[in-house]
Structure 1
């Protein structure tokens, strides 16, 4: 990774859905995200989730979403965290940028933005088999705080980092 790497976060717009859906169809994304429905205008407009396209020196290459852990119409598995906490999910969409440290760097930058915006805790829930993602989260400062369990989205390892 270049020391000059500049990550920019742009709120996802309807015009980004084609790019997002192309990324979601990549084998390295499908492995961990599965074959959910494609993003649509209703999903993008949800007030509970902020969706971001991440650019590297101007080139779109990744996706990250952060969401309120409170306010869901069901009991979210992070609902026990302090008020204002955010959950995150992300992936690198462009295969040629995998394995170069960009994931760690852009996730850390986004987590810093969330803390600067007042989040007391940021949580994530990787698949326990995704040891690569878990190692990235640990390098950023996340730690597992419970054993893996089955959630509405599959088996997860709950992890969090505190400001």
Structure 2
């Protein structure tokens, strides 16, 4: 565990790494795989934060039933994670559902806060362009840039304090 701490890998990222292999199978450990798991966890946290900020309610009975079926099938965590990623892709999951799932996963997703987001320079550049477009009241360009940022996995909220990105 000391080596993991030295490499700045969070304990939750280590847990996420372990969840990617079924408990009955041999775990193939590598530092690269562990770092990839940490990056994957950050992506998951960003998606959860996005859901939290959108606060959209959608029908999730099917995915909840699928999740329970998978978990009850010999605690198949890799398949459960695959289901979650697919649900994000298909937009068939909401914040409350992912938090319910996290009671099984133990990834502290309800503790995710904005500081966990690392915003790529490409997105920051688009954000600056959008701010300029809004200042010039070029609403169509502003909307186009917002959609482009959304396609990259981020949500923008316009507040009295300016743009917030999640």
Shorter-chain TM-score above 0.5: no
TM-score norm. by structure 1 comes to 0.25
Which gives a bigger RCO, structure 1 or 2 (Cα 8 Å, sep 6+)?
2
Larger Rg: 2
